[in-house]
Amino acid sequence: MIYYISEGSVFMAKPMIWIIDEEWPDYEIENKELKSAFPDCEIRYSKYDYHADLEEFGRDADAILSQIYTVIGEKEMVRLNKCRVISVFGGGYDKIDVASAMKHDIKVTFVPGYCVEDVSDHAIAAIFHCNKKINLYGKAISDGLWGSPALPNPPKRLKGSNLLVIGLGRIGSATASKARALGMNVFAYDPYVDKDKMDSIGVFKTELYPGLENADFVSIHAKRTPQTEGMLGINELSRMKSSAYIINTARGQIIDEENLIKAVKEKIIAGAVLDVVYNEPPTFREEIFNTPDILVTPHISYLSVQAFEELKRRAAVNAIKVLKGEPVSDIAK
């Protein structure tokens, strides 16, 4: 093995990089960054069912670039002989056993903030969808209805309606800002953000239950943690208005999916727009895909040309920096 020395750091000249993914059509951006940093590096590829490859070659990887759906736990970590970094293609890393990685001196990196504009745009688009239902007037037209007969139950206007944001991080804050520009009243539930901070951006701090009771729309932007997993069950959903909608662009496990289906079917709430579901990738046989008044989009809220390029580039650069012994800010903890 040949090593280089750069600014006092020793790093390998010919690392083996292992990309685990089934989603990207190509790896042009990643390969360009990796080959620029390590011209002689070896790049190997696997799908999510990667365990045979782990034994054949993956255990000798110096770095792993993994899609957010890739599960890597203790039993896999212990097989990695040389790995120094697992770089996740995403703003979340809940499929990676970070504690196990730390035990094996493997850094886990992610890409926070790359899709703030895109996900917050999607959340606002979901609010418009729930409010205006622009795609649902085909039947009215086919029935020969025009004007007010086509809309017997008009919605309330968005201006002056109440939005509850759960999780006021980067994306939650951007969603709140865009909603305020529409004239909505924005409330936020986030135990880690104080009232002064919320006041400074024009958001009202609230506890969860009062926020749910007051909301016309609920938009979830919290991280998946043991504290947030299943935080919205039937007790919480039952506190919402029967006319209220819930939007989730965060993680599917934050909502109790079975109880969400029950709440929508029984008209406890009006409906939901989900860009994430409990099981991902799904089989598409799940009931959530066939529940009236629940719209599911295929986990694409983060996608734009700019976000896609930034995600792939930063994930590759994070791995490069770790291999070179350079400081990395995007470290999972």
Residues involved in catalysis = 251, 280, 299
DSSP tag of 155: P
As to burial, measured by CB atoms within 10 angstroms (0-12 exposed, 13-18 middle, 19+ buried), residue 208 is: middle
**Type of residue found at 318:** N
Tokens of 114: 């790359």
Altogether, the residues listed in the chain come to a count of: 333
- Do residues 104 and 85 make contact, with C-beta atoms less than 8 angstroms apart? no
- Do residues 107 and 80 make contact, with C-beta atoms less than 8 angstroms apart? no
Tokens of 197: 């901070």
Tokens of 46: 């696997």
- Contacts of residues 254-259 at CB distance under 8 Å and 24 or more positions apart, as own/partner, are 254/166, 254/220, 254/222, 254/224, 254/228, 254/229, 254/230, 255/220, 255/230, 256/230, 256/232, 257/286, 257/288, 259/232, 259/233, 259/234
CA pair distance 38, 40, nearest whole angstrom: 5
